[in-house]
Structure 1
């Protein structure tokens, strides 16, 4: 079966989890992981999975990339676009973000030797990620959390 050719400039879809937890001081923290190639701080993300709801695919990525399990939001909590480095070109990707309220964090997980991970306060997470639209999405989450407190 032939692969469908993608139009030049067409955005590719990705899904991501925003793993969050409540810190001892009552603040909300976001778990970031490093990308495997450039070692930038990112949220766990990947390609949609055939036959799997996007929210469940985002939760699966969070487990594979960061070893976390929890409750995932029904609907996307935001979106952002970025340029993904492919082997021979860059692809414009639009990422749907799903909140994942972390209930368990495992020490052993599939990509544990390929990535670093760290819990950040939301403001710090927004400052440390490279993608401007992801930073904006994290700041919007921070504003929502502040309003709910």
Structure 2
């Protein structure tokens, strides 16, 4: 379960819990008896210290080799907190990046998540403007 965040034309990335120099999308697993929507809201706060409105399900991405399925949501962030679980526990950081900078970081640190960003761009109503932001 992973998320793509768009907020004033910027993308939210967080540091990886394994490598603090790596930037990735927030995400996590679904607990027993929890919906993917509820898990998304919980993980948003735990990992990134934000609350927001889920705009749409971007898609379900399957990795047949690893027998893993990832549901990706686009989220409009409405609240940011200065203090949150992962910041306190593991000193996790968050940062808003321009689209092209987020793409560059994902290409380096988490290429599989770059697919989510590309899917977001290609299915957005203003995808031409977003493609321009990626290249400029």
Return the offset for 1:79: 4.2
Pick one of 21, 37, 60 that aligns with 2:42. Answer: 60
Contact 2:14–2:23, Cα closer than 8 Å, also in 1: yes
Q: Which residue of 2 aligns with 1:41?
A: 23
Q: Which of the two has higher C-alpha Rg?
A: 1
Tell me what 1:6 maps to.
none
| 4+ aligned runs moved over 4 Å, structure 1 | 79-82
Match of 2:126 in 1: 146
Count of matched residue pairs: 121
Is the 8 Å Cα contact of residues 58 and 119 (structure 2) preserved in structure 1? no
**Structure 1 residue runs without a partner (length 5+):** 1-14, 23-27, 83-90
Q: Superposition RMSD on alpha carbons, in Å?
A: 2.3
Q: Distance in 2 between matches of 1:107 and 1:47?
A: 24
Q: Structure 1 34/64 Cα, relative in aligned 2: closer, same or farther at 3 Å?
A: same
Match of 2:77 among 102, 108, 118: 102
Structure 1 position 34, deviation (Å): 0.7
Q: Distance in 2 between matches of 1:65 and 1:137?
A: 18
CA contact (8 A) 1:17 1:45 kept: yes
Contact 1:65–1:110 (8 Å) recurs in 2: yes
Residue 50 of structure 1, CA deviation:
1.4
Separation in 2 of the partners of 1:64 and 1:45? 10
The alignment status of 1:20 with 2:18, answered yes or no, reads no
Q: 1:112 aligns with which of 87, 93, 96?
A: 87
